[in-house]
Amino acid sequence: MSQHKIPGWVNFALIPVLNVLLAFLVSALVFVYIDISPWSALKVMWQGAFGYDEGWGYTLYYATGFIFTGLAVAVAFHAQLFNIGGEGQAYVAGLGVALISLSLGNVLPAILVIPLVIVFSGLFGASWAFIPAYLQAKRGSHIVITTIMFNFIGASLMGYMLVEVLKPEFSMAPESARFPEASLIPKIYEVLKPLGIELTPSPLNLSFLFALVCCVFVWLFVWNTKWGYEIRAFGANPSAAKYAGVNAVKVTVMAMMISGMLAGFFALNTVSGEMHQLKLNYVAGFGFTGIAVALMGRNHPIGIVMASLLFGFLYQGGAELAFEFPGVDSKIIVVLQGLIILFCGALEYMLKPYVEKLYLAAVAKKEVSHA
Amino acid sequence: MKVLFKIAAAAAISLTATVSMALEFKPAVIYDQAGKNDKSFNEAVYRNGVLQFAVDKGVVVREFEPQNEAQMEQGLRRLAQRGNSPIVAIGFTFASAVEKVAKEFPDLQFAIIDMVVDLPNVQSIVFAEHEGSFMVGVLAAMASETGKVGFVGGMDIPLIRKFACGFEQGAKFYNSEAEVFANMTGTTPSAWSDPAKGAELAKAQFSKGADVVFAAAGGTGMGVYQAAKDESKLAIGVDSNQNYIQPGTMLTSMLKKVGIAAYTTWEEAQAGEWEPGFKVMNTANGGVDWALDQYNEKLITAEMKAKVEEVKAQIISGEIKVHDYMSTNSCEM
């Protein structure tokens, strides 16, 4: 039996789909328990997320954020580095965006400011990942511990910056002033309006296209460059890679900084694209959910886009659910997301042995009948 | 032809929207991210506004609790799209969202609490917290044996300094020698839910000699009230009537009737008397007050009651002018 290989589609498509279905099945039981028909709940969520253009807008807007944070986790993971710090890297990147937008937004035209905003969001995110990476590479401080701690340091730093430095006088909320028009990333509905396509306003902005560009970049980088090869080799077996001449310090720092940069791009979508000002805790857990997205997407850009769409659907559909069933605690959505993360992340390989066995049995049967 | 069709469709949609609006009264509320069961600000709106309105008028108020930053504006817009009106937004964090959405739906009525949004279809409800704080400041100074009283604020924002400033004025009005210690819990929203730190701050003030502490700190206040009980000192609650939380050591509560404010907005709209603009809830119209009930009646002597009622009457008549911190961004005595 062992001469048959398990084809890729079983691992990369069938098992994730089965996991999601299983999660939905358990969620359905939860819905039954609280007296909501799971079918109508699903219909409301589907309709809310994909049924009309504004819903699509929100779904893709959330998905954009997840693509960035998901890619960030994936790149580091190829070097066997578990970057838990996406939350903090994205948060600090918001500072880079705010500083550039507020200082140069009134001085330079959009065509110059927006590229600078993109560069600085990436730069701030990458630099926040640099110190943990350096400590891991040079001192052996575990990356999981240091990146988690850097989330807290980042939160304190941002709290200080927002309250003491960026908050306009007489304002009560810990948030920066609004950014000048030139520094904002245009919304998709604004871009399409002059072309005669009318869409309901939604936060979906051009960062979505940039996120797709980043997916292509990650694919090219990880699978088609020498550096990507080094990262993967190092991730597969650090000792062998070192023996083969891979510089461990360089690979660790490079993988983490690219990871931090991608997490930093999250600020483009949320801060420059939607909020138009820097707010306290604006990342709101998207950095952590990125870990689940990367796990589900098997650290591959295509998988990450699919997983991001699923989470975008859950976020947007979930908000609609809270609307349609006002009596229901809106935390039910958190339960739903938790179940998906549980089945697709933590219990990722639960079904694997059974599915593989079934597949092999089916193949063997086919061969017998052929004979 | 296509354009014509689009216009016709749009007209039909807006027509049905106005018709359904005229037929139905659909009030709504959107809470901030703390949620409606936060034991403080949002819950006051839920209990004294939403539930009360359902009991009195038989109208169920549509509620929404946003789960993240993006859903604040989205939720507001979705409520508006469904023709809900008036929509009451709870808290100053909604300012930018209300400003955007109210412009998109000029036919609907909006209200925001604790913030001013200057639009023709928005009612901005602000409270004269300094007046209420002044009254409990007088009570604190009267109840204090040491002549020292304390204030524990939540997040360090002008609104909370307004409480502190009013409290200090009240204490010094009764006893010009009174010493007032003021501490803020923090500078970020987590300062609203840190009872451990609230207890520490209260204990620090007790050790400096304070024997009455006023907490304007959301959930953090629970720690302050507990600390007062543990050390047999007195505490003053805020927003809702919190006297019941530690009966016997709660001197009183400074009432900020957010629930009533929301209730009134819906009531006015139902009666067709709703008006946009600036609305101040103060001592004169019962928007702020001090609390007396079975839990603290033993602590409030007849003399104290007479004095604070006299002060209250003087605030209403304008004889006592309490300085509002937010009018100058400084506390002037």
Q: Residue B253 CB: number of other CB atoms within 10 A?
A: 29
Residue B276 placed within a domain: no
The parts of chain B modelled with pLDDT lower than 70 are 1-23
Q: Does A172 touch chain B (CB under 8 A)?
A: yes
**CB-CB contact of B241 with B253 (8 Å):** yes
Collect all residues with Cβ–Cβ distance below 8 Å to A352 and sequence separation of at least 6. Answer: A11, A15
Q: B8 or A328: whose pLDDT is higher?
A: A328
Model confidence at A170: pLDDT above 90:
no
Q: Of B108, B127, B146, which residue is a domain's last?
A: B127
Tell me the CA distances in angstroms from A18 to A25, A67, A341, one per residue in order.
10, 22, 13
Range of the domain at B203: 129-256+288-328
Q: Among residues 23-82 of chain B, which lie with CB inside 8 Å of chain A?
A: 62-65, 67-71, 74-75, 78
> Same domain for B43 and B156?
no
Q: Does B93 touch chain A (CB under 8 A)?
A: yes
Shortest distance between the Cα of B262 and any Cα of chain A, in A, equals 19
B213: helix, strand or coil: strand
- Mean of the pLDDT values across residues A169-174? 77
Nearest Cα to Cα of residue A17 among A358, A213, A303, A353: A303
Q: Does B124 touch chain A (CB under 8 A)?
A: no
Nearest Cα to Cα of residue A321 among A23, A34, A13: A34
> Same domain for B134 and B123?
no
CA-nearest residue to B325 within chain A is A170
Q: Which pLDDT band holds residue A333 (cuts at 50, 70, 90)?
A: confident
Q: Which pLDDT band holds residue A3 (cuts at 50, 70, 90)?
A: low
Q: How far apart are CA A165 and CA B63, in angstroms?
A: 36
Residue A39 placed within a domain: no
Residue B269 placed within a domain: no
Residues of A in contact with B329 (CB under 8 A): 169-170
Note whether A172 contacts B158, CB cutoff 8 Å. Answer: yes
What is the structure's pLDDT at B12? 46
CA-nearest residue to A316 within chain B is B71
Residue A369 placed within a domain: no
Note whether A61 contacts B70, CB cutoff 8 Å. Answer: yes
What is the structure's pLDDT at A265? 97
> Same domain for B191 and B298?
yes
Residue B83 placed within a domain: yes
Residue A237 placed within a domain: yes
> Same domain for B236 and B249?
yes
Percent of chain A at pLDDT exceeding 70 = 98
**Predicted ipTM?**
0.72
Note whether A323 contacts B78, CB cutoff 8 Å. Answer: yes
Q: What is the mean pLDDT of chain A?
A: 91
Range of the domain at A249: 61-310
What is the structure's pLDDT at B248? 92
Residue A141 placed within a domain: yes
Residue B139 placed within a domain: yes
> Same domain for B252 and B301?
yes
Say how many domains are in chain B. 2
Nearest to A170 among B74, B155, B158 (CB): B158
Q: Which pLDDT band holds residue A371 (cuts at 50, 70, 90)?
A: low
Q: Which pLDDT band holds residue A366 (cuts at 50, 70, 90)?
A: confident
Q: What is the Cα B260 distance to its own chain's centre?
A: 10
Shortest distance between the Cα of A13 and any Cα of chain B, in A, equals 31
Residue A363 placed within a domain: no
Q: Of B75, B103, B127, which residue is a domain's last?
A: B127
Residue B264 placed within a domain: no
Tell me the per-residue pLDDT of A249-293, one tens digit each, with 9 for 90 and over.
999 999 999 999 999 999 999 999 988 999 888 998 899 999 989
- Phi, psi (5° rounding) for residue A179? -75, 150
Tell me the CA distances in angstroms from A233 to A140, A229, A241, A252, A294, one per residue in order.
19, 6, 6, 12, 19
> Same domain for B109 and B85?
yes
B87: helix, strand or coil: strand
B134: helix, strand or coil: helix
Report which secondary-structure segment, H or E, holds B113: strand B110-113
Residue B110 placed within a domain: yes
Note whether B329 contacts A322, CB cutoff 8 Å. Answer: no
Residues of B in contact with A164 (CB under 8 A): 187
Q: How far apart are CA B11 and CA A363, in angstroms?
A: 61
Shortest distance between the Cα of B308 and any Cα of chain A, in A, equals 31
A277: helix, strand or coil: coil
CATH number of the domain that residue B76 is part of: 3.40.50.2300
Note whether B69 contacts A279, CB cutoff 8 Å. Answer: yes
Residues of B in contact with A315 (CB under 8 A): 68
Residues of A in contact with B65 (CB under 8 A): 322, 330
> Same domain for B192 and B314?
yes
> Same domain for B314 and B206?
yes
Tell me the per-residue pLDDT of A122-135, one tens digit each, with 9 for 90 and over.
999 999 999 999 99
Q: How far apart are CA B302 and CA A86, in angstroms?
A: 61
Residue B78 placed within a domain: yes
CA-nearest residue to A273 within chain B is B70
| Tokens standing for residue B60 | 């169920």
> Same domain for B97 and B133?
no
- Mean of the pLDDT values across residues A7-33? 87
Residue A142 placed within a domain: yes
**End-to-end CA, chain B:** 70
Q: What b/e sequence results for A45-78 when a residue is b if at least 16 CB atoms lie within 10 Å of its CB, and e otherwise?
A: beebbbeebbbbbbbbbbbbbbbbbbbbbbbbbb
Shortest distance between the Cα of B32 and any Cα of chain A, in A, equals 13
What are the helix (H) ranges across chain B?
2-23, 41-45, 52-57, 69-81, 95-104, 129-143, 158-174, 195-207, 221-230, 258-270, 302-317, 325-328
Report which secondary-structure segment, H or E, holds A308: helix A301-324
Note whether B93 contacts A173, CB cutoff 8 Å. Answer: yes
Shortest distance between the Cα of B190 and any Cα of chain A, in A, equals 11
Tell me the CA distances in angstroms from A277 to A99, A125, B90, one per residue in order.
11, 18, 21
> Same domain for B36 and B122?
yes
Q: How far apart are CA A108 and CA A179, in angstroms?
A: 13
Q: How far apart are CA B263 and CA B255, in angstroms?
A: 16
- Give just the sign of the alpha carbon dihedral A135, A286, A75, A258: negative
Q: Does A87 touch chain B (CB under 8 A)?
A: no
Say how many domains are in chain A. 1
Residue B214 placed within a domain: yes
Note whether B70 contacts A170, CB cutoff 8 Å. Answer: no
What is the structure's pLDDT at A148? 95
> Same domain for B163 and B122?
no
Tell me the per-residue pLDDT of A47-95, one tens digit each, with 9 for 90 and over.
999 998 889 999 999 999 999 999 999 999 999 999 999 999 999 999 9
CATH number of the domain that residue A151 is part of: 1.10.3470
Tell me the per-residue pLDDT of A312-325, one tens digit each, with 9 for 90 and over.
999 899 888 888 88
Nearest to A330 among B65, B104, B156 (CB): B65
> Same domain for B106 and B150?
no
Note whether B64 contacts A282, CB cutoff 8 Å. Answer: no
Q: Residue B121 CB: number of other CB atoms within 10 A?
A: 18
Report which secondary-structure segment, H or E, holds B148: strand B148-155
Tell me the per-residue pLDDT of A208-251, one tens digit each, with 9 for 90 and over.
999 999 999 999 999 999 999 999 999 999 999 999 999 999 99
Collect all residues with Cβ–Cβ distance below 8 Å to B95 and sequence separation of at least 6. Answer: A173, B112, B115, B117
Report which secondary-structure segment, H or E, holds B250: strand B250-256
The residue type at A83? N
Going across the sheet that includes B250-256, the strands are B179-186, B148-155, B212-216, B234-239, B250-256, B288-290
What is the structure's pLDDT at A190? 92
**CB-CB contact of A218 with A71 (8 Å):** yes
Report which secondary-structure segment, H or E, holds B123: strand B122-127
